[in-house]
Amino acid sequence: MKAKPVTLNDVAAYAGVSYQTVSRVLNQAPHVSARTREKVEQAMAALHYIPNRVAQQLARRSATTIGLATIDLSLHAPSQIAAAIKTTASELGFNVVISMLRATDGNDIRRAVNELLSQRVDGVLINVPLEQEEAAHIHQLCAATPVLFLDTPPTADLPSVIFDPHQGTRLAIDHLVALGHQRIALLAGPQSSVSARLRYEGWQQALAAHQLTPCAIAEGDWSASAGYQQAHLLLASSVRPTAIAVANDQMALGVLRAIHEYGLRVPEQISVIGFDDTRDSAYFQPPLTTIRQDFRQLGRESVNRLLDCLQHPHTPTPLRLKTTLIPRQTTAAWQPSTLSPQDVAQQLITLARQLQR
């Protein structure tokens, strides 16, 4: 049997450094200490690693450029994804050209991709929420230029690197239910967004698995101001939630402010869980419990897979990344000592459902 070739990841693990550090040593990049360079070179010798000179030459070509089509970078998650892509590309010697969309209709997306292609980019990454049909059209538009999608449905048979939306929403609902919450409200993103719709569907499926339904539903545009406005509506509903699941951290920031103005305490009287784990969420007041999408991993995987397509032309299979629950201080166990008439009614309904199983 042919031995499995040694990879950069193997060298990095052996030397006790990052993948990017090994790449910098191979590409003779500055700002690598002599001690680190020696550790990497010793690891390559011990593992009999043979550098891929084609990949190195590709990374050093001054014309090697990745095009990134992305939604509004004023939103925290897209800006962090773009930063992760630029960091990984820079470490490998690539340039990144960005085309930002403020609207996400088909014409705007095609215009942005054509703009990138006109600049003779070597590959394209698309961080725009796209339905399968529109993504397939963009794939055809790119023709011979490698393209990867970062926000399409998991069912789309297209080259993509995406987070598993249903796994993340299941983690959120399971966490709230484990804390004893039954009256859970949902603050979704705009339903015109495929990622927002998938998170909403995932919440509903997870609640159904616990024989629950949302006590209230609202929709925002991903912004903190939308979270603030919609939270006031949720809190004023006839059945006040004991927990709110929010489709992104930025809206969750607005939710926390609305709860404070409403005179309620988080998490003693109401719990909040976000989605994304943006850099600022650990510094909210209180620090936000959320679902982490590792944007650095997304940047690394997408750039490396695009590089692999440039080295060895092929259509990569979809890659689905896992999400992680990050428990902080905005979720806590539901307190039966604060039972309201609605609490009593909900508990009786839940008990009846359990007895019917």
We report the CATH number of the domain holding residue 313 as 3.40.50.2300
Contact 274, 244 (CB under 8 A): no
Co-location of 227 and 333 in the same domain = yes
Residue 231 shares a structural domain with residue 335: yes
Same domain, 254 and 204: yes
**What's CA 66's distance to the chain center, in Å?**
20
Is this prediction's pTM over 0.85? no
Nearest to 331 by CA among 251, 267, 286: 267
Residue 1 lies in a domain: no
The confidence score (pLDDT) of residue 202 equals 97
Domain of residue 38 covers 8-51
221 & 310 share domain: no
Structural domain includes residue 211: yes
Question: What's the pLDDT score for residue 57?
Answer: 55
Angle at 322 between CA 316 and CA 325, to 5 degrees: 165
pLDDT at 1: 47
**Total number of domains constituting the chain:** 3
pLDDT tens digits for the chain (357 residues)? Answer: 456 677 878 888 999 998 778 877 877 666 788 889 889 888 888 887 866 654 555 555 555 799 999 998 888 899 999 999 999 998 888 889 999 987 667 788 888 999 999 888 999 999 999 999 999 999 998 888 999 999 999 988 899 999 999 999 999 999 999 999 999 999 999 988 899 999 999 999 999 999 999 999 999 999 999 999 999 999 988 889 999 999 999 999 999 999 999 899 999 999 999 999 999 999 999 999 999 999 999 999 999 999 888 888 887 889 999 999 999 999 999 987 555 566 566 557 756 766 776
- What's the pLDDT score for residue 339? 53
Tell me, yes or no, whether 285 and 299 share the same domain: no
Burial of 235 (0-12, 13-18, 19+ CB in 10 A): buried
Say if residue 42 is in the same domain as residue 100.
Answer: no
What are the structure tokens assigned to 131, written together? 């339905």
Residues 217 and 73 in one domain: no
